Amino acid sequence: MMEDNTRAESFEEKENANTKMQALKKEECILDHMEICVTEAEKRETGALNIRDFYTVYLIETKVTDLDWNGTLNKLSSLWRRYSEFELLRTYLEVTYPYIVVPPLPEKKVIYAWQKIASDTFDPDFVDRRRAGLENFLLRVASHPILSFDQQFIGFLQQEEGWGESIKDTGYLQLAESKLKALSVSVRLKQPDKRFEAIKNYGNELQNNLGNLLRVRARLVERLYGIHKLHANYGRVFSEWSAKEKEMGDGLQRAGHYLDSLAAGIDMPLEEEELYADQLKEYLFFAGALQAVCRRQEMLQLQLEKAEAQVLTRTIEKDNVQKGKSGLMSRLFGSVDTEEVRELKVNLLDQRIQEGKDGIHSAQEELSEFSKQALIDIERFQQQKISDLRETLTGYVILQIKMCRKGLQTWTHIRDCLEAIP
């Protein structure tokens, strides 16, 4: 009977979460009212005397498409932001909305690199890929029904002067420091929430699987690139050979040109493939954001368990005082509390027990509200993840098919050239 009740409660929780999820999907976001894009990047220099330092800034342009909407500072806006300011914004969002799986930023340094991918963070290709990733981050936030309407986020998009000071005035930095320290501590709970345990384990598995996928892809593309480039040697040999052969010369020359085109034709497809790799990296980082939400839930659960343990300790202490049991020092020195002292101690413990119970109630409410909101947003994230990864993996497969077809077409031309030799 108890198991049936548990199942019924679980089913009811899921139904409520699904209903709220549907409501969440219907809620508007600022992308319904405006366009956001990061159009270009620019390398700048700072420093004094002989010390020079370089950094990159990104141009954010916004345009309000709904003229009746007054949710932004300006109808049109254009301003430059550094990567560090994007980091500042994301940290603020993570602290302010701890129950939300906050979209990640693109990689700060190149990971899962291979020979053609530059590791220099000022390399034009890397900077352009990061520009696209930062735009994607802004669009992710702007499409969220809660994050998108945050005033600091809107200020980040349109407030050219004073945004850094205004976000510091929110006091989030102090909260961020204390919460980051708490999250770094290993937590062992007496009664962990199985729902969040499962989600945290899933986040770890997602991170491992995507990491392995990206690692295999980097090794594979390294070899693929090398094999294609080696075909240029075939082209050179065929061209040199054609000069020595009168009857076969034209056929060998044309075959050599096709082999050269096969070698050169790999660059563009692999550049396109790198975009799919970036999309997989985004979900690699998303897995970390998902785990962070679970760790925050654990910290709230730990606060509740500590409050409960404290009340239990004081309740036992009160019982001992009422029974006349003295502490160690009293037994050693033979002193015994009078009735009046004992009554004062009991009253003081009653007061502390009541304060502790109030703390338990407050911790329970905070944990319950956090869990409810987090599960709703995690469900939203899961739906988004399925749609995005399906599209990414399908696009990757289609790209491989195109590459194979192009290679087959080239080899067919080479065969035709050789068969045409008299």
Residues 130-182: tens digit of each pLDDT: 999 999 999 999 999 999 999 999 999 999 888 988 888 887 777 766 665 55
Q: Tell me which amino acid residue 249 is.
A: G
Classify residue 2 by its DSSP letter: H
Please give the structure tokens belonging to residue 190: 């007496």
| Count of CB atoms situated within 10 Å of the CB of 306 | 13
Name the more confident of 401 and 177.
Answer: 401
Domains, the chain, ranges and CATH?
A: 27-184 (3.30.1520.10), 218-324+337-419 (1.20.1270)
Mean pLDDT of the chain: 85
Residue 30: alpha-carbon gap to chain centroid = 21
DSSP conformation class of 100: S
pLDDT at position 10, please? 47
- 143: helix, strand or coil: coil
pLDDT of residue 397: 95
Category of 49 on φ-ψ map: left (φ > 0), alpha (ψ -120 to 50) or beta = left
- Enter the DSSP assignment of 146: T
Counting Cα atoms < 13 Å in the Cβ hemisphere of 243 gives 5
What digits encode the pLDDT tens for the residues 340-355? 777 888 888 889 989 8
Is the pLDDT at 183 greater than 80? The verdict is no
pLDDT of residue 26: 53
